[in-house]
Structure 1
Amino acid sequence: MAAGAVMYTFAVQLADVDRGIYDELSLRAARHPSETDAYMMTRVLAYCLEFDDGIVFGEGISATNEPAVLIRDLTGRITAWIEVGAPDAERLHYGSKLADRTTVYTHRDPAKVLAPWVGKRIHRSESIVLHSFDPGFVDGAVAALERRNTMTLSITERQLYLELNGVHLSSAVHDHPLE
């Protein structure tokens, strides 16, 4: 954990009906001083939405060789490169060459995130998808955020139903292909 980082814990009840995943997760997410609460909350949501065997949080916001979340197979090979926020095209290119699948989750305006990638060289860009949430969803979750969190997340037909520390929120997951 980086010096000055703040540790958040999440006791998560996950029900991903779309993928048939029902699990209880105990997550610890360190928020680096340069990381916003919205970024960290999006990172936690991405972890839950991508949950699978071998999933872990990356080394942190300053790590250049790992994404925010990644999935490794039993041999240690990266199978999913999961970025958060607004990574640059070079980082997506690198991740897409390294992993079988690359995706991005953002708490920002998706049009503004996509714009800098237009015309840039990104390996397998046709298979990369940017995921966003309804306006205000992540901000609502951030308002309910505490150091120790109880969270229930249900996903059905790409609709999220989130209960975080007694606050109920919902959002669609919007998919924006790069091409």
Structure 2
Amino acid sequence: MAIGSVMHTFTVDLADVDRGVYEQLSLRVARHPSETAPNVLLRVLAYALEYEEGIALSEGIAATDEPAVLVRDLTGRTTAWIEVGAPDAARLHTGSKLADRVAVYTHREISRLLPIWAGKTIHRAAEIPIYSFGRGFLDDAAGAIERRNALSVSVTERQLYLELGGRTFSSEISEHRLS
């Protein structure tokens, strides 16, 4: 944890109908001094939406050699490399070589993000899904983040319903591909 980081706790009730995953999660997330609230929420959502045995949060933007979220099997091998935001092509390339599966969750405008990766060397680029949310969804919901948070995350038919700080937010989860 970086000096000046703020620790947030999240108690998450997850109901992902699309994947048949129903869990109660308890997360401690260190927010780096230069990290925005929407990025913190994006890390938490990526964790919840990718939840499976062996999943872990990294140190976020302070982690230089790991993605925001990763999944390891019982041998310690990385099986899923989950990035958030707008990772550079080299990180996606590295992740795609190390893990069986790579995904990106972003709050960036897709029309501006995809051209950044166009023409770059990214191993198995066509297999990497990029997930985005409705305009303003993360910014609006991140405004409700406090030091201690109870949130409910429900997903059905790629529609995300989020309850945080006594407020309800919703967004479609859109899937895009690099190529």
Q: TM-score with structure 2 length normalisation? A: 0.98
1:12-46 per-position Cα deviation (integer Å, ceiling 9, x unaligned)? 11000011111111111110011111111101100
Equivalenced residue count is 179
Residue 92 of structure 2: aligned partner: 92
Instruction: For 1:60 and 1:44, locate their aligned partners in 2 and report how far apart those are by CA, in whole Å.
Output: 10
One-letter identity of the residue aligned with 1:114: L
Q: Which 4+ stretches in 1 moved above 6 angstroms?
A: none
Are positions 1:7 and 2:7 aligned together?
yes
Task: Extract unaligned runs of 5+ from structure 1.
Answer: none
| 1:61 counterpart SS class | helix
In structure 1, what is the equivalent of residue 21 of structure 2?
Answer: 21
1:120 aligns with 2:116: no
What is the CA distance between 1:62 and its match in structure 2?
A: 2.7
CA distance in 2 between counterparts of 1:155 and 1:67 reads: 23
Shift of 1:59: 2.9
Identity %: 63
CA distance in 1, matches of 2:168, 2:133: 15
For 1:59 and 1:152, locate their aligned partners in 2 and report how far apart those are by CA, in whole Å.
23
Q: Which residue of 2 aligns with 1:45?
A: 45
Distance in 2 (alpha carbons) for counterparts of 1:118 and 1:134: 23
Post-superposition offset of 1:143:
1.1
**Is 1:74 aligned to 2:51, yes or no?**
no
1:135 paired with 2:139, answer: no
Q: Which runs of 5+ in 2 are unaligned?
A: none
Structure 1 residue 53, shift from structure 2 partner: 0.4
- Alignment-mate amino acid for residue 137 of structure 1: F
Look up the SS of the partner of 2:94 in the other structure.
Answer: helix
Partner deviation per Cα, 1:120-152 (whole Å, 9 max, x = no partner)? 100000100110000011011111111111100
1:64 shift after superposition: 2.0
